[in-house]
A and B are shown apart, each in its own frame.
Chain A
Amino acid sequence: MKKYTPYIILILLLVWHTVLFAQDRFPRPEFESGYVYNTNQMPTQRAPGWEYFDVAVLIAALAITSWLALKKRSRQGLIWMSVFSLAYFGFYRQGCICAVGSVQNVSLALFNQGYSIPLSALLFFLIPLLFALAYGRVFCAGVCPLGAIQELTGFRPVKLPKSVEIILSAVPFIYLALAVLFSSTNSQFIICRYDPFVGIFRLDASYTMIIFGVLLLLAGIFVNRPYCRYLCPYGVLLNVFSRFAGKHLTITPAECTNCRLCEEVCPYNAIIPSNLDQKIEEPEKSRSRFIIYLILVPFFAVGGAYLLYNLAPALASVNTNVQLAKEIRLEKQTGIESISKAVIAFKESGKTETELFTQEEMIIDRFKKASPWAGLFLGISLGVGIIALTLQSRRSEYKPNQGKCYSCGRCFKYCPIKARN
C-alpha cells in the first residue's frame, strides 16, 4: 500500500487541479439589483431556399440566352442579358455562387470524406454544361457574370496573331488541372482566390487583385474577354461540351453564300472559313501525319504524368500544413526562431512536431497520387490539340468553331442574308 501512496496523492492532486481550473478565474457575480443577462443576437445567412431561387434564375437566364442566340439572333438581346447577369449574379449576389468556381466544390466532394457538396453548387456546375451540350456556350454569352463584365467592356476588338492565341489558350487547361488538383487534395481553391472580377463586384478586394482585375478589363477593351479565353478553367469544360452541341448558333440564318463579310469580325478567331477555293493536302500525306500524332498521344500522356509526379512535392507546398512543416524544419535547421503567426499558433496549439511531419508526409503522398492524373489530362489534351490541327475537311460555308464560339452574336449583323419569316 505504501508503495502506491505517492501515485494516489498524484492522482488526487491532478483531480484537484482540474476542479480548480474548471472554475472561471473570475466567478460569476451574484447580482442583487435584479440584473437580467443580456443576450446576443446571432443573425443568420439569408435562408438556404434563396440559393434554389438562384438556380431557378440560372436556368431561366440560360433558356432566354439560348433563345436569343439561336432563334431570335439578337445581339442587342444578348447584351441586355449580359447586363442582367452582371447585375444579378455579379453585383447583387456578389459573384459568389458561380459555375466557374463550382468545379472545385465538385472535386473536393469527390475526393474528400468530410465534405458534402451543397446541392445548389452541384446544380450550378451541371446545368451550364448540359446547356452547352444542347445549345453551345450560351452560358458564356449572357449568363456568366465574369463573361458579361468583359463582354460589355470589349469596345475595340483587336485580333491576336494565331500563334500567340494558340499558346495562350493552353493556359486554361493548366489552370483547370491545377485547380482540380489543389481542391481535391483539400489545399486551396485557387479559382476563387484569383478571381479577378469578384473584387469589382464587391467593390472591395485586396490591392493586388483589384489591379489584376482592372488591368484585365483594360486589356479586354482590345483583346476581348481575356479571362474567358486565356484563363477560365470552366471554359475548358464548356469548350469540350460545346463541340458536341446538338444545336449551335449559326452565323447565317439560311444558306451561306461565302460572301466573306463575316470573316474578320469575330474577335475570338472562332469563325472557321469555308475552304472550297483552297487546295487540300493529299489525303495520303495527312493520314500518315494523323497516325504519327496519334502514336505520340500516349507519350505526351506519360510524359505529363511523369512531369507532374516529380513536381508533386513542390506543388504540395500550396497546402498550409506543408508550408508550416517547412517553416518548422527551417527553424530547427537555422536555429532562428520563426515569427510567423502560423508557427506561433502551432506552438500554442500543443501539437507535436512528429504529428505535423506525418501529416505533411500524408499530404505529399496524396499529391503524388493525384498529380499524375493531372499530368495525364494535360498530356492527352496537348496530344488531341495537335491531332485536331492535322484534321482537314471540305467546308462549303462559314461556320463558328463550336469550341471557341461564345455565342456572343457579334457576327449576326455582318451577314447580309436575312431570314425569310
Chain B
Amino acid sequence: MAEKNKYQSRRDFVRNAGKLAIILPLAFIPVALAKKTSVNGYVWQIDPFKCTQCGQCKTNCVLTPSASKCVHAFQMCGFCDLCGGYLRQGVKTISTGAENQMCPTAAITRKFVEEPYFEYTINENLCDGCAKCVKGCADFGNGSLYMQIRHNICVNCNDCSIARSCPSNAISRVPATAQYMPKDKSHSSEHGAKSSG
C-alpha cells in the first residue's frame, strides 16, 4: 500500500527531487566551510606602516565624521617644541594660534611638560581623520601620530568603504580579538629604515 502511493503524481516526484537537489548544495556549504569559520569574526583596521596619509579615510567612510581617527603613540613621541604634526610648515612663530595649527579642527592640544618638551594629545571628538597631522609627523618627526579605525564608532560594514578606496591597501580585516594595530616601540625601528629608503 505504502509502496503503491509512494509518488502520488509526477508533480510530487518532481517536487521531492527538486527539494533534494537544492538541499544537498545547501548542506554542502557548511561542510565545505567547517574549517573556515571563525567564531569571533572580523573588524577593519588600518596598518599604520602601510598607510600613506592620503586623507581618503576622512572622505570615504560611510560615517560623517569618519570612524578613522588619529591616535598618538606617546611612547614614540619626541615631545618636540617644533612639532611637524601640530604646526604648519614654515610658521613664523611657534604658538597655539589657529593660523599656526596644522589641524583644521584644532583637535590637538599642546601642553607644556618641561623645558623644552611639549605633550600633544588628540581630542577624538574633534578629530575628523584628515590625517594632515599624521603626514606632518611622518615627514618631520618620529611618526608617533598614526591613523586607526575607532571601533566604538565604526559600524563594521561588510565591505569597508575606506578599504575599497585606500590607495595603499593599508586597511584589511583583522580578527575581532585584536582590534587595533598599535604603533609601538618595537616596530618603530623597522619603520624608520623603511621610510628612509
Nearest residue in A to B172 (C-beta to C-beta)? A114
Do A43 and B152 contact each other (CB < 8 Å), given the known contacts A22-B193, A24-B76, A37-B75? yes
- Please indicate which of the listed interface residues B77, B167, B169 has the most CB atoms of chain A within 10 Å of its own CB: B167
User: A168-176, A212-220, A240-248, A256-264: which one contacts chain B?
Assistant: A240-248
Does A244 contact B15, Cβ atoms closer than 8 Å?
A: yes
Does B151 contact A43, Cβ atoms closer than 8 Å?
A: yes
Total cross-chain contacts (CB, 8 A) = 188
* Chain B, range 141-197, C-beta contacts under 8 Å to A: 141-142, 148, 150-152, 154-159, 161, 164, 167-169, 173, 176, 179-180, 182, 188-189, 192-193, 196-197
A205 in contact (CB, < 8 A): yes
Does A96 contact B156, Cβ atoms closer than 8 Å?
A: yes
Contact of A117 among B33, B114, B164 (CB under 8 A): B33
Does A192 contact B29, Cβ atoms closer than 8 Å?
A: no
Do A117 and B167 contact each other (CB < 8 Å), given the known contacts A48-B176, A133-B23? no
Does A126 contact B26, Cβ atoms closer than 8 Å?
A: yes
A333 in contact (CB, < 8 A): no
**A: interface residue count bin:** 35 or more
Nearest residue in B to A341 (C-beta to C-beta)? B167
B24 in contact (CB, < 8 A): no
A184 in contact (CB, < 8 A): no
**B: interface residue count bin:** 35 or more
Question: Which residues of B sit under 8 angstroms from A192, Cβ to Cβ?
Answer: 157-159
Does B173 contact A45, Cβ atoms closer than 8 Å?
A: no
B56 in contact (CB, < 8 A): yes
Least CB distance from B120 to A in Å reads 10
Do A104 and B54 contact each other (CB < 8 Å), given the known contacts A26-B142, A43-B151? no
A28 to B196, CA, bound (A): 19
Additional A-B contacts beyond A33-B114, A35-B117, A110-B32 (4; CB < 8 A) = A22-B189, A24-B192, A44-B176, A122-B30
Question: Hey, which bits of chain B sit against chain A, CB under 8 A?
Answer: 11, 15, 18-19, 22-23, 26, 29-30, 32-33, 35-43, 50, 52, 54, 56, 62-64, 71-80, 113-114, 117, 119, 121, 140-142, 148, 150-152, 154-159, 161, 164, 167-169, 173, 176, 179-180, 182, 188-189, 192-193, 196-197
User: Can you give 11 contacting A-B residue pairs, CB < 8 Å?
Assistant: A26-B78, A48-B41, A105-B158, A109-B37, A118-B38, A119-B39, A126-B30, A188-B159, A192-B158, A202-B63, A205-B62
